[in-house]
Chain A
């Protein structure tokens, strides 16, 4: 058997797998849209009009498209904060909390070092945000590694603590002169630069760079090999000498750091200040996206984009179709159920 034959066979297998996956996703998406269409019909709306409205509002104009990107950025980052730990078999439900702690520490930097120029302050805030998220993720990661508590539960529970910590600092020390529930606007050196007069900011570049890095590391590096081994068979990985516990703690912290970066990006870019309870569940959305795409980088990108289109367009449906915003959540939930249930006719051969 020669290397060339081996390689073509391998490539053919890979191509077939990608085509299969694309077809499966398309079928599942159509199924979700179809079911939601039935719901729209039952409530007396024309589903085709509704879908046309969504497309026009998001992909039909430069502004609409830029808003999709704005919505997509934090979803991308938080999805990776889930996807990375999932590769070593860790379930990080704590992205929401890690995001709050990242935002909190980054805000401290922004409020403390007001005199620094942007080229120094922004990297510092990124670093602080990542430290905040990593510290929050260390707790469940460490407890898991020493075999005490499952990380799923601890990371989830810490989600209800983190927003309270943030509120404590805002209401206690940081609130601005006018409001009690948010800080004053950040100085401009603490703001991420935006592009082309839209609200799209530098964090989109962070997100895409992270995505490429994630893909590269998993695919080509030594650590990727070791992480895939842990995810594939922890018992065998251990016996092969891979330091499982170190990876569990390290990767959980790294996931937290990525979530913290999302928090930093939100306060420094989107909001420009720290607001109590600012996130409205972006961490959970990332969790959902990561599992919908099975932790695959390309999948994360596609699903985040799709979800952003639906949520951004959904805002418009309230105006044009008189639908409550909750209707969009029904569509998202339908898509989730369909992907998770994976009906047999789209499951394909194992």
Chain B
């Protein structure tokens, strides 16, 4: 099919043949992809049919994105095969994928803000000649737009469009270029609720015209609203595959998070609630977010000394913002923040750190370390006042080294102290940050995904360090996606969904199922405070 001849496909024939017993349009067999520390895809089989919406459901890190990147030619699979309409195919690059009729809608759009909608689309098309006939492109846009409710103003600059409109442009781009299989990577993440409904309607329209749609998501409601076929990934494997008719909320959640209950070990709380001041208190705090960030809404939270409060949630639901808010990177648009019993709305990050706030961010390379500086320099960075001598003219490197070695010994970690941070593996980088932040008796620890990238032994050491800090009277805000970890460590558990606290639990009165239910936005709020 040459793309110049593309027009909306005629509906009848393809829709008819897509059901029961028909040949899949695209099939993956035994696709396997291994990254240095993780088996991202483990023998995945997947069949995509024309005229169907196929939902690919799973937590972050379940392997959805890797699988789709293999399909779109960004990664090469280590093993496995692909077949299009029964013929084996090789996809080495996104260009190959496009030739075969695959189109991918990325989470971050690839439009050029300064160009108009028509110009952006013309850029993407292969068949536009050296002289761009924008009128012709506009006519083609209109043909598709009218058919699939994707109306956009073709001569308006992209910078003037809302995110929802930009997404329409992205979809049009794929349609005009002749894609028959559309891969949508978490398309509703950036959309307002009414835009979500509109998008789902667009997808239904495309389905009835014979397009195959792969919808990557972790929102169960959307899956149940429009999918025909559902494949659930967990830990890089297919955890379940079913037709819409066989699926319900309960089944999907069980599949997504695993049926097994986390092994809960109870320990008595070290400090009782009579302690006068919480180390952290947020009173009805809301923040204002820009771009794709999540804004926090009406957050009420108090952490007392000697307490670990776990934050459950699928990443991107406000966890990063919550950590940054407490640290002081972003300020409260509404509400009040207290640290160690004192108002802290205008406290600088340095002051907060001097007061004893430790911060282990979700991304140690981007948010915590300076790549070309050595491990020792990176460790000195958090408390330069502690090591400055002669008013700052020199630094006491022996003291920095002593602190670092003491921290490493306590955790039983090993690190090359003089290697630049950028040469460290992800695990070592995480170890560096943990040693730095937990080293000197913090009073409030903001820890995100502490054990990410660590081997079992190191992970246990990190968790033990958090428990030790709790025993010493520190408050801990523990953000994690690992429910097992949250259940094992937390004294209380809150669930974040779209920037809101949708559940507050004591771990012993709930289970992974109930928490997972709230994490995916599938239920009303639950509250059992303190």
Segment of A48-56, A94-102, A221-229, A266-274 in the binding face: A221-229
Q: Given the known A-B contacts A220-B394, A221-B394, A229-B381, are A241 and B368 also in contact in the complex, defined by CB atoms under 8 Å?
A: no
- Beta-carbon contact of A236 and B384 below 8 Å: no
Interface size on A, residues (CB 8 A): 25
B361 / chain A contacts, CB cutoff of 8 Å: 239
- Beta-carbon contact of B350 and A241 below 8 Å: yes
The 0/1 profile, CB within 8 Å of A marked 1, for residues 349-386 of chain B is 11111100001010000111111110001001110100
B377 / chain A contacts, CB cutoff of 8 Å: 225, 228-229
Majority SS at the chain A contact face: helix
CA distance A222 to B327 in the complex (A): 22
- Beta-carbon contact of B373 and A232 below 8 Å: yes
Return the contact of B368 from the options A6, A222, A228, A240 (Cβ within 8 A).
Answer: A240
Determine if B392 is an interface residue (Cβ-Cβ < 8 Å): yes
Chain A proximity of B332: nearest CB distance (Å): 18
Chain A proximity of B242: nearest CB distance (Å): 42
- Beta-carbon contact of B416 and A225 below 8 Å: no
- Beta-carbon contact of B370 and A237 below 8 Å: yes
Chain A proximity of B90: nearest CB distance (Å): 31
> Chain B: which residue is nearest A220 at the CB level?
B394
CA distance A238 to B353 in the complex (A): 11
Return the contact of A240 from the options B351, B372, B381, B416 (Cβ within 8 A).
Answer: B381
Chain B proximity of A229: nearest CB distance (Å): 5
The 0/1 profile, CB within 8 Å of B marked 1, for residues 181-200 of chain A is 00000000000000000000
Interface size on B, residues (CB 8 A): 36
Majority SS at the chain B contact face: mixed
- Beta-carbon contact of B373 and A229 below 8 Å: yes
Chain B proximity of A47: nearest CB distance (Å): 40
The 0/1 profile, CB within 8 Å of A marked 1, for residues 306-325 of chain B is 00000000000000000010
B352 / chain A contacts, CB cutoff of 8 Å: 241
- Beta-carbon contact of A239 and B349 below 8 Å: yes
Q: Given the known A-B contacts A6-B417, A9-B418, A220-B393, are A232 and B350 also in contact in the complex, defined by CB atoms under 8 Å?
A: no
The 0/1 profile, CB within 8 Å of B marked 1, for residues 22-41 of chain A is 00000000000000000000
Determine if A242 is an interface residue (Cβ-Cβ < 8 Å): yes
Determine if A277 is an interface residue (Cβ-Cβ < 8 Å): no
B382 / chain A contacts, CB cutoff of 8 Å: 240-241
> Chain A: which residue is nearest B392 at the CB level?
A222
Determine if A148 is an interface residue (Cβ-Cβ < 8 Å): no
B350 / chain A contacts, CB cutoff of 8 Å: 241-243
CA distance A210 to B70 in the complex (A): 55
- Beta-carbon contact of A239 and B367 below 8 Å: yes
Chain B proximity of A101: nearest CB distance (Å): 29
Determine if A347 is an interface residue (Cβ-Cβ < 8 Å): no
Return the contact of B384 from the options A1, A3, A222 (Cβ within 8 A).
Answer: A222
Q: Given the known A-B contacts A6-B417, A239-B349, are A221 and B368 also in contact in the complex, defined by CB atoms under 8 Å?
A: no
B83 / chain A contacts, CB cutoff of 8 Å: none
Chain A proximity of B44: nearest CB distance (Å): 35
Q: Given the known A-B contacts A232-B373, A233-B366, are A240 and B392 also in contact in the complex, defined by CB atoms under 8 Å?
A: no
Determine if B388 is an interface residue (Cβ-Cβ < 8 Å): yes
- Chain A residues 208 to 222 lying within 8 A of chain B, measured CB to CB, are 220-222
Q: Given the known A-B contacts A221-B394, A222-B387, are A238 and B329 also in contact in the complex, defined by CB atoms under 8 Å?
A: yes
The 0/1 profile, CB within 8 Å of B marked 1, for residues 143-165 of chain A is 00000000000000000000000
19 contacts between A and B (CB under 8 A): A3-B401, A10-B418, A221-B392, A221-B393, A222-B394, A222-B395, A226-B384, A229-B373, A232-B371, A233-B366, A236-B370, A238-B329, A238-B349, A239-B327, A239-B359, A239-B368, A241-B348, A241-B352, A242-B384
Q: Which 7 A-B pairs have the closest CB atoms?
A: A232-B370, A241-B350, A222-B392, A241-B353, A222-B388, A241-B349, A233-B370
Known: A225-B380, A236-B369, A240-B349. 20 other contacts (CB 8 A): A1-B414, A3-B401, A6-B418, A10-B418, A222-B394, A225-B377, A228-B370, A228-B373, A229-B370, A229-B373, A233-B366, A233-B370, A236-B370, A236-B381, A237-B370, A239-B327, A239-B349, A239-B359, A239-B368, A241-B348
